């Protein structure tokens, strides 16, 4: 396992070690990953996020969030996981697995990572930004064995490594049990908040995916989504449009986060959204 400066840093390391070729990304999908891949000089191919990955022919890699698809919240079923691995083997491609918030499953146990099924076909990316703090800029990468030497050499030449004080501080937090405590507390908070969001918005929109992590995504017409987004902005709350995460996909709705707010702020934001959607 290699310590990195977050998920996008890990992604850059893998892309630099990969053979030339385009990269598929879920659509809708994580915008920072799309920009990182494009910044590495690679073209992005759109993978419909609601469909199984069955064909990666001609591609160098595919970026996936199988444990909790961002932003739709879909958990990739076991048959689809096997299909994605088979497609990667057939195309001699690599799966870039971003496991960004699997510790925040509060309905069932966390889903096993794709990397546990095939180390040679999966690069596993993790982050502490959701469990500890985004400002920590700390993550980790478990590359397939065939890429490890190339990534290590690039990091040695570029001195592109996470500062030792940051790593030592995180290790201290782990040893003292602080990280586990934060995760347990946050999981309890999110488990209580998610049903409140569902109860408030379900009469007006369709829930996409599985409630997990620190957000939920809601399908509704673009005009209604924009009306609710604008009302939230006027009240001082930020709510994202689902269409902003889309490239080829034509999905519309809202991505409602409930992690970085107080309970009172969440209730106030939900009241604004309901008022705009009613």
Q: Give the pLDDT confidence of 200-249 residue by residue, as tens digits.
A: 999 999 999 887 788 999 999 999 999 999 999 999 999 999 999 999 99
SS3 22: strand
Report in angstroms the alpha-carbon separations of 235 from 26, 194, 227, 243, 273.
32, 21, 13, 22, 10
Q: Spell out the domain ranges in the chain.
A: 2-175, 191-277
**Rounded Cα–Cα distance for residues 18 and 35 (Å):** 17
Q: What does pTM read for this prediction?
A: 0.91
Cis ω for the linkage preceding 71 (within 30 of 0): yes
**Rounded Cα–Cα distance for residues 54 and 225 (Å):** 32
The arrangement of secondary structure in 2-175, i.e. its CATH architecture, is 3-Layer(aba) Sandwich (3.40)
pLDDT (0 to 100) of residue 157: 83
- With 90 as the cut, is the pLDDT of residue 93 above it? yes
Could you tell me the fold of the domain covering 191-277? 3.90.1150
């Amino acid at each position: 396992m290699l310590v990195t400066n977050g998920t996008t840093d890990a992604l850059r390391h893998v892309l630099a070690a990969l053979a030339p070729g385009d990269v598929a990304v879920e659509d809708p999908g994580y915008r920072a990953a799309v920009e990182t891949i494009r910044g590495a000089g690679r073209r992005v191919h759109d993978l419909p996020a609601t469909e199984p990955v069955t064909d990666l022919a001609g591609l160098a890699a595919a970026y996936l969030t199988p444990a909790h698809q961002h932003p739709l919240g879909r958990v990739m079923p076991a048959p689809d996981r096997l299909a994605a691995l088979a497609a990667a083997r057939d195309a001699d491609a690599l799966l870039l697995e971003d496991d960004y918030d699997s510790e925040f499953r509060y309905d069932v146990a966390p889903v096993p990572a794709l990397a546990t099924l095939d180390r040679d076909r999966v690069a596993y990316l993790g982050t502490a930004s959701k469990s500890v703090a985004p400002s920590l800029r700390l993550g980790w990468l478990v590359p397939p064995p065939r890429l490890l030497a190339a990534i290590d050499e690039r990091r040695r030449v570029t001195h592109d490594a996470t500062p030792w004080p940051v790593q030592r501080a995180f290790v201290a937090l782990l040893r003292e049990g602080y990280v586990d405590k934060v995760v347990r507390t946050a999981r309890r908070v999110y488990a209580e908040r998610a049903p409140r969001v569902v109860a408030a918005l379900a009469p007006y929109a369709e829930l996409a995916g599985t409630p997990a992590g620190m957000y939920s995504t809601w399908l509704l017409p673009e005009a209604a989504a924009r009306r609710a987004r604008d009302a939230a902005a006027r009240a001082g709350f930020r709510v994202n449009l689902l269409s902003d995460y889309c490239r080829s996909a034509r999905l519309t709705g809202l991505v409602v986060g409930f992690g970085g707010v107080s309970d009172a702020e969440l209730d106030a934001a939900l009241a604004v959204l309901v008022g705009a959607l009613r």
